[in-house]
Amino acid sequence: MAAIVTVIAKLSRIDQQQALRAWLSAGEADSVKDAIPAEFTKGKEARAYALAFVIRHYPIQSGIGAFGILLFAFYLIGQFALHVHV
């Protein structure tokens, strides 16, 4: 759990305490229609809550998306290496 909270904090540019609160609040929500806590309605906190909600409620899709981003990065590195003829 700490690694996920750290990733949320880094991507949202907030401290880990706020990211942990977003993680725990997103876990308490049963659906998207539930009321979002007031502290997560604007700014960087809203980004953190949205990211935490998606990761908690759609873990398989989040994992596939993260894997796809890494795979695409390796593909680009490979294409660059082929054109440079290293």
Q: Would the pLDDT of 57 be above 70?
A: yes
Query: What is the distance of C-alpha 59 from the center of its chain?
Result: 10
Paired tokens of 57:
């409620």
pLDDT value of position 2: 86
Share of the chain above pLDDT 90, in %: 80
Nearest to residue 56, comparing CAs of 37, 35, 31, 34?
A: 31
Q: Would the pLDDT of 1 be above 80?
A: no
**What pTM was estimated for this model as a whole?**
0.81
pLDDT value of position 86: 56
List pLDDT tens digits, range 19-47: 999 999 999 988 887 889 999 999 999 99
pLDDT value of position 84: 83
3-state helix, strand, coil in the chain (%, to 5): 80, 0, 20
